[in-house]
Chains A and B, each alone.
Chain A
Amino acid sequence: MSRELENSKISEAIPTLSKLLSNNKGAFWQSLINYTDAATTFNEMISLAAIRKKALKSGDIPMPSGLDSTLRIALIGGNSLYPLSSLLEHVVSLKIGRAEIFTGDFNNYRAEIVDTSSKLYQFNPDIVVLLPDNSICRYTGTINDLDEDIYKASESLGSDLFGLCSILQNEIGAETILCNYIPSPYFDLGPLRTRSLASDWNFKKLVNLYLGSKAPNFVHILDLEFLAYRIGGLASKDEKSFFESKQLCSPTLQVALAKEIVHIIEGRKASAKKVLVLDLDNTLWGGIIGDDGIDGIELGDTSPRGEAFKALQTYILSLTRRGLLLGICSKNDYENAIEPFRRHPEMVLREGHIVSFKANWKPKAQNLIEMANELNLGLESFVFVDDNPAEVENVRQFAPSVASILLGPDPSEYVRQLQDSRLFERSSITKEDLNRTDNYQMESARRSLLVSSLDMDSYLSSLEMVGTIKKFNKIDLPRITQLINKSNQFNLTTRRRSETELEDIMTNPSYTSFSLRLSDRFGDHGLISVVICRAVDDSVLEIDTWLMSCRVLNRQVEEVVFNEIVELGRTIGARKIKGFYKPTKKNSMVKDLYTMLGFDPVDSPQDSVEFELSIDAASHKATHISITGRE
């Protein structure tokens, strides 16, 4: 969408919403959410916030479902936290749920954090947003000091802030969103600005580098330096508002800041996209392969347009190194569509990069649904990219959980559009991510082996599977967190947890948790199953979480995990093992798991089914997985 269109749209926001408020209440909230996503100025956001409050006040428009949880957010820092708190409240209420917001006193954050009887502690936040004061982020020596001394000063500033965050983590159990510093956009110091590390410009960047690269996992860095750079240094500043009401930055940057806080909060538990599905004609290359032929399509370094398409392919290839899988969905005859992947010298993407290739004349939504079934992945982990609005509309209507990107008219903007979509962000990249395409390709090799094997038993035995069981540990934690927050199908209770919550579980003696890795003669699947058990009392071991990656379905991993849980129960002297099945839209595949393993259903509270197994009755399940390296 062009900038002009967006502007004209947002300028109509208030009249449009006012109309909806009186005669189409059903459409009001979605429309408000869309306008809020598009809003960039303070005026727009405050007007939208006010109309939301009016709607709630009128009382006859219920909030949409899914937004009924409450999140307690504390804003503390070296500046005035209003109107940031208002902006934040508005965005949170439309994206996450009811927001209870605590605003700390002006520049009182140290006392608030250190004094465990402060109002901050009484408020008991889930999340603390800390905006440290600019005035302390200065190098106090001279401009000619040694670089080492200046580095040291920047590190001690950064580690001091981490220290405050760790108090919040230890005393309240809250995760912190820590904002970094905005380097001054003024010409002051001239050549020395870049020459000396002691300049405000360089020193703030040094501190920010330290904060970003050294942040412990309970600290989420909010990159205010980047946001300011994005909207422009001068546009980020408002000197008068600092003197009048101690504002940190310009109103426009505060809007971006509020949105970014919510983005980080949402991202903590959101599941990452796993599959990027691409159109071909006028998406990966210019022109129509079926009409123009392999010599006629625009791709590669001979023309500016061709270069732009090639750049898009190069960027997409880089996404596969972050663990994304690629699919093709194109209205074409297969033979035409595959030809450039095999023969065009300028193609960056090749057949081996694609895990599912759909070139046919079926509706694209249908192809995406089939692809999801084939890959055993949910549609909500799919991103669809096309230059044709009709195709994007088809997908939005018939496969609404797929995120789609409609490419604009100019291929030079394509890479930027993907980079700015915010769909491919990761807080960390695990080893499993790096090998994912290989894993899926191995899976096809395994499937062909299955066809040639006579029966399941000899197939499994031929795989030469090796499992490794380990208690949770720091190294595995990012991957464990990732699985806990994205596994939907083989997941008995679908309890999402942040890395910090899992760290607590690691050290809590009433929990016993383990993960399982699996490899076979085709390669390593990595860490694919996670179990969290809790000793309820001396006699009962309760299975709080049990999940498994679907790519190892039908490999007897369930049985191995079951054996291990029983073993755990015996070790702690439990007499019974309790398990739960909490049905969701996606986990029906494990509905009968406990029954199959010999558990008896005992009680069915409203939203889950409870199962029990007496330890004495539990039999060891024979499998073809040999267990090594248990610890």
Chain B
Amino acid sequence: MDSLQDKVLRQLQEIFDELFLDEIIVTPELAATEVEEWDSLTHISLVIMVEERFGIKFRVGEVEATKNVGEFINIIAERMNRLDG
């Protein structure tokens, strides 16, 4: 069985495919600094897309504090769990 984290990762891959022009393989270890297109501006769009797609709201400053995709996924998963429960 897929964990929630795996599901989130797959959906995140879809968002990356739609947002970025280059093909980017999304992994938990991936960080913004490794992707040329992922600058502070596209980051704003990415956060908005994730909120809309997953139906969640991040808290102020929360995403900025994450170091890589894995930590980002953890917040998404946690927020989704709270919605379910």
Contacts and interface: CB of A to CB of B under 8 A. Distances in A.
Interface of A: 14, 41-43, 46-47, 50-51, 53-54, 57, 80, 82-83, 86, 239-241, 243-245, 247, 251
Contacts of A14: 18
B21 A46 contact: no
Nearest to A54: B21
B67 interface: no
Given A41-B52, A43-B49, A245 B44 contact: yes
A251 B47 CA distance: 11
A535 B60 CA distance: 63
Contacts of B49: 42-43, 46
B52 A244 contact: no
A46 B18 contact: yes
B53 A50 contact: no
Contacts of A54: 21
Given A46-B49, A86-B45, A244 B60 contact: yes
A41 B48 CA distance: 10
Interface in B13-69: 18-21, 41, 44-45, 48-49, 52-53, 57-61, 64
15 contacts: A42-B52, A43-B18, A43-B53, A46-B18, A46-B48, A47-B19, A57-B21, A83-B44, A86-B45, A240-B57, A240-B59, A244-B60, A244-B61, A245-B44, A247-B44
B21 A50 contact: yes
Q: Which 10 A-B pairs have the closest CB atoms?
A: A47-B18, A251-B48, A240-B60, A43-B52, A82-B41, A243-B60, A83-B45, A42-B48, A43-B49, A245-B44
B19 A50 contact: yes
Q: Which of A86, A239, A244 has the most CB of B within 10 A?
A: A244
A194 B67 CA distance: 47
A249 to B, nearest CB: 12
B-side interface size class: 10 to 19
A51 B19 CA distance: 9
A50 B23 CA distance: 12
Given A82-B41, A240-B57, A245-B44, A251 B20 contact: no
Nearest to B20: A50
Nearest to A83: B45
Given A14-B18, A83-B44, 5 more contacts: A42-B45, A43-B49, A46-B48, A53-B21, A54-B21
Given A42-B52, A240-B57, A83 B21 contact: no
Interface of B: 18-21, 41, 44-45, 48-49, 52-53, 57-61, 64
Contacts of A80: 44
A358 to B, nearest CB: 48
Nearest to B52: A43
Contacts of B59: 240
B83 to A, nearest CB: 17
A46 B64 contact: no
Contact of B45 (A46, A51, A240, A244): A46
A51 B45 CA distance: 15
Contact of B18 (A50, A82, A86): A50
A46 to B, nearest CB: 5
B34 to A, nearest CB: 19
A247 B41 CA distance: 12
A83 B18 contact: no
B52 A251 contact: yes
Nearest to A82: B41
Contacts of B21: 50, 53-54, 57
Contacts of B45: 42, 46, 83, 86
Given A41-B52, A244-B61, A46 B41 contact: no
A240 B62 CA distance: 10
Contact of B48 (A50, A57, A83): A83
B52 to A, nearest CB: 5
A417 to B, nearest CB: 28
Contacts of A241: 44, 48
A57 to B, nearest CB: 6
A393 B30 CA distance: 51
Nearest to B14: A14
Contacts of B52: 41-43, 251
Given A83-B41, A251-B48, A46 B61 contact: no
A46 B18 CA distance: 8
B60 to A, nearest CB: 5
A244 B64 contact: yes
A251 B60 CA distance: 16
Contacts of A47: 18-19
Contacts of B64: 244
Contacts of B53: 43
A42 B44 CA distance: 11
Nearest to B15: A43
Nearest to B40: A245
Nearest to A85: B41
B71 to A, nearest CB: 17
A279 B50 CA distance: 46
Q: Which of B45, B52, B53, B64 has the most CB of A within 10 A?
A: B45
Contacts of A57: 21
Contacts of B48: 42-43, 46, 83, 241, 251
B48 to A, nearest CB: 5
A257 to B, nearest CB: 14
Nearest to B61: A244
Contacts of A247: 44
A59 to B, nearest CB: 13
A240 B18 CA distance: 24
Contacts of B19: 46-47, 50
Contacts of B58: 240
Q: Which of A47, A51, A54, A240 has the most CB of B within 10 A?
A: A240
Q: Which of A42, A43, A47 has the most CB of B within 10 A?
A: A43
A237 to B, nearest CB: 12
A251 B50 CA distance: 12
